[in-house]
Amino acid sequence: MNSKDAMQRPLDDLATTAIQLGRDLERSARAVCLGGSSKGQGFVDRTLRHLAERDPFDQRFDVSLEALRSTVEAELASEVLHTERRFIATRFDAEGQHGEVYDCPVYSDRGQDLLVVQTTYLRFIAARDATLDRIAAERALRRLLTM
């Protein structure tokens, strides 16, 4: 979600999207047993519980959300089976196709599921941030108008 989209959407739509994505994140993280083998399992469980209870905006959980991101990244890194070289096209002109070659990780089945969790996490954070930014903007405008 880019900032222009966020500014055009009503606040209740932004909040609804963040809450829905938080619940999606909770379900997908539980489906892959995120943090199941780590010492931080209780931490992950508490963070996911707040998302399941439709409480994604409490800023006391910012550190928990960052820890959740770290957990996803660590577990995703452990699911890399190997890497393979892939050509990624960047443009096409009169001389033909141009691009770059990248070493791309190949993940296990669980790794593929963790990629979904990671994508959902990033979408959730973007929606949450857009909602909180809109609320902050409205507060700032109210303060300006009452000066």
* Residue 63: per-residue pLDDT: 87
Does residue 44 lie in a domain region? yes
Residue 24 forms part of a structural domain: yes
Residue 103 lies in a domain: no
The reply to whether 137 falls in a domain is yes
Name the domain count of the chain. 1
Per-residue model confidence as pLDDT tens for the chain (147 residues) = 655 565 578 899 999 999 999 999 999 999 999 887 666 677 788 889 989 999 899 888 888 899 899 999 999 999 999 999 999 999 999 989 999 999 999 999 999 999 999 999 999 999 999 999 999 999 999 988 988
Residues 6+ apart with CB under 8 A from 101: 85, 86, 87, 88
Which amino acid, residue 45?
Answer: D
The verdict on residue 117 lying in a domain is yes
Q: What's the full length of the chain, in residues? A: 147
Q: What pLDDT does 4 receive?
A: 59
Contact 68, 121 (CB under 8 A): yes
Residue 132 lies in a domain: yes
pLDDT on residue 72: 94
Domain region containing 138: 3-80+108-145
Cα within 13 Å of Cα(95), Cβ side: 3
Domain-located, residue 10: yes
User: Does some domain include residue 91?
Assistant: no
